[in-house]
Amino acid sequence: MIGAWSPPASAAQGTPQVACFREGQLPGTQAFATIDLSRTPLWHPTSDRHFHLELLACENISRTNGYGRVPEVLEYVAGQPTASGEAILHGDVVALPAPLPGGTMTSLYAGLPAYFDDDFSSVTIENGIDVAVVWLIPITAEETAFIRDRRRARSPGPRSPRSRPSPSSKPDARQRPGAASLPRQRAARPTRRPAAPSRQHELPPRCGGW
C-alpha cells in the first residue's frame, strides 16, 4: 500500500477509506480498494442474510503524476451501501452520476477479481467473518443494456424481495456471507487457477476506462 484517503466530513457514517496499491498481481496496473467497508453488515433484496464486502478497482499506470478519478469514484460507490445498507453483489451494475473521462464508460459492473489469486476473492477476518472482494469494472451504456437484457431473459419471473434482516441476526454458520456474490460453480474452490472469469464471454474485465 502506498497511501490511503480518508472520507470527507460530509460522507455517510461508516464510509471507508480508499487505499492505493502497486506492484501487485497485475503488472503495469495500480489497484484501489476500500478499507473497513466490511465492518458494516449489508443486506440484499435477494437474500435474508448479511454480507460483508470490500470493493476493488484497477487501472493501467499511464499518468506521470496524481491518481486520477478512481479514488473519487470508489469513494462514491462505497458510500451507497454505507448509506442504504444494501450490498453490491457479483453481477450488479452501478450507474455513475456522470461518465468517466472519455465519455464512454457510464456504469460499473460488479465482478469477481478473476485475474488475482483464487484466495483473493474472499478473505476471512476477525470473528470468522468471510469478506467477499468485488471488482468494479467500467462498462459502456451498451454493455449495461446487454447485461440487463440477459438478466431479464434468464429471470424465471417476478419475485417478491426478501425482507431486510435484523441487524442483530447472525449469518448462517453453514454459509459464507459473501457466497452469493460468487458464481455457483466456484462454491467449491478449484485447485488450479482458472484462465479467465466464468462470464468472460459476456463482459471481459478491463483495467482501462478510468
pLDDT of res. 140: 96
Give the model's pLDDT for residue 184: 37
Between residues 134 and 207, the one the model is more confident about: 134
Portion of the chain with pLDDT greater than 70, in percent: 70
Per-residue confidence (pLDDT) for residue 19, from 0 to 100:
92
Return d(Cα 34, Cα 81) in angstroms, integer.
12
Other Cβ atoms closer than 10 A to 154: 7
Residue 174 lies in a domain: yes
pLDDT for 200 beyond 70 = no
pLDDT tens per residue across span 69-99: 888 999 999 999 999 999 999 899 999 999 9
19 domain-assigned: yes
Average pLDDT over residues 17-37: 86
With a cut of 50, say whether residue 193 has pLDDT above it.
no
Residue 60: is its pLDDT beyond 90?
A: no
pLDDT band at 207 (very low <50, low <70, confident <90, very high): low
Q: Is residue 200 part of a domain?
A: no
Structural domain of 108: 3-186
Residue 139 forms part of a structural domain: yes
State the total domains in the chain. 1
Confidence bin at 161 (pLDDT 50/70/90): low
Mean pLDDT, residues 132-146: 95
Please indicate, yes or no, if residue 88 is contained in any of the structural domains: yes
Average pLDDT of the residues in 30-59: 91
Please state, rounded to an integer, the average pLDDT across all residues of the chain: 76
Contact (CB, 8 A) for 145 and 138: no
Instruction: Please name every residue paired with 131 in a beta bridge, in sequence order, or none if there are none.
Output: 123
For the cut 60, the answer to whether the pLDDT of residue 196 exceeds it is no
- Cβ atoms of 136 and 57 within 8 Å: the answer is yes
Residue 191 belongs to a domain:
no
Report the pLDDT value the prediction gives residue 141, as an integer from 0 to 100. 96
In a domain, 121, yes or no: yes
| Structural domain contains residue 21 | yes
